[in-house]
Amino acid sequence: MVSMNRRDLLAGALATGATLAAAPASVFAQAAPDPRTRRLLEVAQREVARAGAQLWRRDLVGIADFGLHSSLPRFHFVNLDNGTADSVLVTHGSGSDPEHDGWLNAYSNLHDSWATSRGAYITWEWYEGRFGTSVRLGGLDETNSNAFPRAIVMHAADYATPEHVARWGRLGRSNGCFAFGPDVFPRALTRMMGGRLLFADSLGIGPDGGSVAQPQQATPDFRAMAAENSAS
């Protein structure tokens, strides 16, 4: 065994300190996410814990923040393994926004309401359907329990692109599905499918982590909408 005296230990400690002092600041900055990311991580951790054993994977969480206007990136891919988040555009349902002004008025779980449902979803497998490759979703809450029979899924759509926002000032609307631009959807597919959590709510988390004010809007008559849509 090689012994070290106090002089050797001191020299080693000084060398280590010099190395740390010379390290770039970015190495240490990675440990402190920005305020918005911190809030998203808190929501993701809370909802993963609430979903419990119903989830198959807990590394990535999708958060749809419908407290933001549809022209803004409001679907957040939250990575719980490395503490990061990145954001893209996502649509809401036409029943939740009858004025088509880009703001979500309210949520509904009714069949044929064409509305967005609030709550936690589990992502299932992908399949080929009306909108091409899509990801099936299962509702985990009473507020979105009809997600599967309503065919609420993740899919690609041309009305969910930055070009659509540039032309109209807002995204188009789905029938309650989470629609992404064709260039973005492959990322959503590979990151989210296979038993991960998707959580939808009006959080209103702004770029600086603060809360965004949402306009007051009337709650749609979802039963009347559903009756009209089912008859058409």
Domains of the chain are 33-231 (2.40.440.10)
Q: Taking all residues of the chain, what is their mean pLDDT, rounded to a whole number?
A: 89
Confidence of residue 232 (pLDDT cuts 50, 70, 90): confident
pLDDT in tens, 97-121: 999 999 999 999 999 999 999 999 9
Confidence at residue 125, expressed as pLDDT on a 0 to 100 scale: 93
pLDDT of 29 over the 90 cut: no
d(CA 94, CA 174): 6
Tokens of 3: 């012994």
Q: What pLDDT was estimated at residue 31?
A: 58
What mean pLDDT do residues 157-167 have?
A: 98
178-180/197-201 β-pairing: unpaired
Residue 162 has pLDDT above 70, yes or no: yes
- Torsion-angle region of 186 (φ positive above 0: left; ψ -120 to 50: alpha; else: beta): alpha
Both tokens assigned to 40: 């998203």
Instruction: Name the residue with tokens 């809360």.
Output: 211
The C-alpha atoms of residue 220 and residue 163 are separated, in whole angstroms, by 28
On whether the CB atoms of residues 66 and 200 are closer than 8 A, the answer is yes
Residue count of the chain:
232
Question: Which amino acid would we find at residue 132?
Answer: G
Backbone angles phi, psi at 38, to 5 degrees: -60, -45
Reply yes or no on whether the pLDDT at 173 is more than 60.
Answer: yes
Structure-token pair, residue 216: 């007051």
pLDDT digits (tens, 9 = 90+) for 114-160: 999 999 999 999 999 989 999 999 999 999 999 999 999 999 999 99
Q: Which two tokens stand for residue 150?
A: 């309503």
Residues 48-54, mean pLDDT to the nearest whole number: 97
Express each pLDDT in 175-224 by its tens digit: 999 999 999 999 999 999 999 999 999 999 999 999 999 999 999 999 99
Distance (Å, whole) CA 111 – CA 147: 9
Residue 26 has pLDDT above 60, yes or no: no
Residue 117 to residue 149: CA distance in whole angstroms: 13
pLDDT(4) > 80: no
